[in-house]
Amino acid sequence: MTKIKETSTNFANKKALTDECPELYASKLIGGQWSLAICSYLINGKLRFGELRKSLGNITERMLTLQLRRLEEDKIITRTVYAEIPPRVEYELTEIGDQLKPVIQELDKWGTMHKASLEDLESTKNL
């Protein structure tokens, strides 16, 4: 994940848009390839790093770590480290992250309906 130079026009445009448009601001927070998926799995409760990695399938350890850190910085998830051997770390949605539940559930419904609609169009097209 590369950072955009703060002096670039692209940075200024994105900042202006996210400052003025709450939808884009929200999209920036959870719109990454993995952020929404991570939050979706955490809807059901706490998960350990390994459990998240297994659930997400193709994500690398590095990418998962970066995404979890970013979500933690944005106060969407919380990380709890237990002083045990071996060390145990759990992730869960914060109160702010919990407010995403209905949004994620609606996106799930919409995605399912949209996918079915496209499949219906394809099947009628092939007749």
3-state class (DSSP) for residue 111: helix
Q: Where do the domains of the chain lie, and which CATH numbers do they carry? A: 31-125 (1.10.10.10)
- The backbone region for 45, taken as left when phi is positive above 0, alpha when psi lies in -120 to 50, beta otherwise, is left
Per-residue pLDDT of the chain (127 residues; tens, 9 = 90+): 566 676 777 666 666 666 677 877 788 888 878 999 999 999 999 999 999 999 999 999 999 999 999 999 999 999 999 998 888 999 999 999 999 999 999 999 999 999 999 988 888 876 6
> Quick count: other Cβ atoms within 10 Å of Cβ 97?
24
Q: Can you give the pTM of this predicted structure?
A: 0.78
Taking the chain, what is the end-to-end CA distance rounded to the nearest angstrom?
44
Element (H, E) at 68: helix 61-73
Provide long-range contacts, Cβ within 8 A and 24+ apart, for 113-118.
none
Q: Tokens in use for 17?
A: 């848009």
Segment 35-62, tens digit of pLDDT: 999 999 999 999 999 999 999 999 999 9
